[in-house]
Structure 1
Amino acid sequence: MTRFHVHRIGNDGSLALDVQSNLLDALTTRVVVPFAPIGDVATLVPRLNPRVVIDGETFAMLTQFITTVSISAIGPSIADLSTRADEITAATDFLFQGF
């Protein structure tokens, strides 16, 4: 698994972003942040919920729903958001630190 890559999760194919350090690859779980289509989200906080385009569709990163999933539930990478690493890290910092 690679940090800042988007994967399909579980049988429903929902999207999630891997935000866990690559130094912890020996664990059997990964920390991920789910995505939702922008039209399905009533309220967004810009610093907490960055928008991304994946396969032509705009999604919101739902940082407040950060969770862990078993590696066995994670599908192959479908997008690499490493160019947005600073913005993604700022969103998780905002969740945990408030700034």
Structure 2
Amino acid sequence: MRKLRINPEPCLGVVKKHWANVQGAIARVKDAIAEGWCDNPTGLFINSCKSGAKGKNTVTGDISAWFEWARRQRIVLAMSGSVVYTPDGEAVELQEMMRRFPVKE
């Protein structure tokens, strides 16, 4: 957190209360710093934890579960943003692949 200039002391209570949102909040602060619009990383982190806001490229649980299933089935090899890569090297939109290959347990 120090690399992102987030002061951990005022964040402790928020982190305990909103633990499920911490990863998304960190991603949002990273995005904001990279884009150059964040003057107060600690404040943005606290607000993002409370609101559940996430970074632009944060993967949701549903997408993560689908990707792990598809990888085990050898349907896809990798994912970058909203694109997945098939074993033959083809880049396909994630939503299209999720439509073509729904999860089958």
Greater length-normalized contact order (CA 8 Å, ≥ 6 residues apart): 1
Normalising by the smaller structure, the TM-score range is under 0.3
The structure that is helix-richer by fraction is 2
TM-score (norm 1): 0.22
